[in-house]
């Protein structure tokens, strides 16, 4: 069976992405990254319940000192508005790749919509 790792915020887009892939018979494992500045650091904003309702296992990863250091000294500059910095994006995707390898996932997916916010980083 094909296996995939979902970057899972618990928001509508990631929920729909998981639901779509599960409906196609893909074995999905969800991962939720929690940073020091996350408003969901204590109760994870319903992410656990959303994964449970979708019937997928959830791995919650707390980001620590390495992440904070990267935020203080971003190689590619800071993000703006509601957009995360490029460095944060790279960091999360690298962590996700490592988890995907550990669980034997064939691919990683997000709930992002292609081209929804073109050129919003710079």
**62: CATH:** 3.40.50.620
Domain membership of residue 61 (yes or no) is yes
Domain that holds residue 96: 3-109
Ramachandran area for residue 104 (φ above 0: left; ψ -120 to 50: alpha; else beta): left
Evaluate whether 6 touches 14 at the Cβ level (below 8 Å): yes
CA 67, 72, 77, 83 torsion: positive or negative? positive
pTM, whole model, 2 decimals?
0.80
Q: Predicted confidence band at 115 (pLDDT cuts at 50, 70, 90)?
A: low
Structure-model confidence comparison of residues 9 and 76, the more confident one: 9
7 within domain boundaries: yes
Mean pLDDT (whole number) for 77-101 = 78
Q: What average pLDDT does this structure show over 88-110?
A: 94
Q: What is the pLDDT, as a whole number, of residue 39?
A: 63
Exposure on the CB side of residue 111, measured as CA atoms within 13 A:
17
The structural domain count of the chain equals: 1
């Amino acid at each position: 069976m094909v296996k995939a790792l979902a970057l899972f915020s618990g928001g509508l887009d990631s929920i729909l992405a998981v639901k779509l892939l599960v409906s196609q018979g893909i074995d999905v494992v969800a991962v939720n990254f929690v940073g020091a500045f996350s408003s969901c650091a204590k109760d994870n904003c319903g992410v656990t319940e959303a994964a449970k309702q979708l019937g997928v296992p959830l791995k919650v990863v707390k980001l620590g000192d390495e992440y904070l250091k990267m935020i203080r000294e971003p190689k590619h500059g800071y993000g703006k508005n509601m957009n995360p910095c490029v460095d944060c994006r790279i960091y999360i995707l690298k962590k996700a790749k490592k988890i995907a390898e550990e669980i034997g996932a064939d691919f990683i997916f997000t709930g992002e919509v292609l081209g929804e916010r073109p050129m919003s980083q710079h």
